Amino acid sequence: KGWHLQRCPLSLQVLAYNRRTYTTVSQRLVITVIPAPGGEPPYQGEFLVGNRNVEELLPEAAREMFLQGSSGVWERGDLQVINITSALDRGGRVPLPIEGRKEGVYVKVGSHSPFSSCLESAVSPQSRFRCSLGQQPLASCYDTFAPHFSIRWCNLSLLQVWPSPTTPGLVWGSGVLEDDGDFQPPTEVPLHDLLPGFLVTLLVPLVVAALLCLLLGHLMCCRREGV
């Protein structure tokens, strides 16, 4: 956010493993990042899909189907997928390998149009209170995601992003320092007398060592039996 991107090629190394055989495959991808034509969508909504894994929503056909369901509840047509994240990266638990359970996927969708009344009612305080009681939140629209996607409406989050001002880029000079006259060195540091500190650091340990030697000699020589 706030970066002025022109065209930035990125080189990523992707390491994947097979869940059944645990074999790994490595591949290097070169991705060219270009800014969106209309900028970052200011209205963003994140849905939790409970019946999908993250790799099932990566194909373009699956994302288009999800956008169709989103346009039904958003009541807008200019939607785009911004981010897809596995629920395991958000603290979710690994599902048991029974009954075809899925990990869950967070899908963030953005639009330049405001949220619909259905989405706003789903994140209202009344809906959050119903979710705390284990009930479904308030939603005045028909769930157009069904039956392909099972949305956890209690995990819906809406975010309004305001564009941040862009800072001007770097200005390259000629590489030669400008002539500003003679070099002016910094002001001189006043001289300090370091002799007292040196004497204290050196003499105090010597005096303490001499006193300990005298005490030890007195105890060993003058306190013997018969002396």
Catalogue the E-assigned strands of 34-165: 43-49, 80-86, 105-111, 157-160
- 83 is a domain residue: yes
- 227 is a domain residue: no
Q: Look up the domain containing 121 and give its range.
A: 40-160
- Sign of the dihedral defined by the CA atoms of residues 198, 200, 201, 204, in that order: positive
- 130 is a domain residue: yes
Per-residue pLDDT of the chain (227 residues; tens, 9 = 90+): 333 445 567 788 888 888 788 899 998 888 777 766 667 889 999 999 988 888 899 899 999 999 999 998 988 888 989 899 998 888 878 777 677 788 889 999 999 889 988 899 889 999 999 988 888 888 777 788 888 899 999 999 999 887 665 555 566 666 666 666 666 766 776 777 888 888 889 999 999 999 999 999 888 887 666 55
Q: Give the alpha-carbon dihedral of 218, 220, 225, 227, to 10 degrees.
A: -40
Going by C-beta distance under 8 Å and a sequence separation of 6 or more, which residues neighbour residue 100?
none
136 — phi, psi (to 5°)?
Answer: -75, 145
> Alpha-carbon Rg of the chain, whole angstroms?
35
What percent helix, strand, coil does the chain show, rounded to 5? 30, 20, 50
Q: Is the pTM of this model over 0.75?
A: no
- 210 is a domain residue: no
Per-residue pLDDT, 14 = 85
- 186 is a domain residue: no
- How many structural domains is the chain composed of? 1
Q: Determine the Cα–Cα distance for residues 177 and 10; give it in Å rounded to an integer.
A: 34
Q: Determine the Cα–Cα distance for residues 28 and 12; give it in Å rounded to an integer.
A: 6
- 224 is a domain residue: no
Per-residue pLDDT, 62 = 92
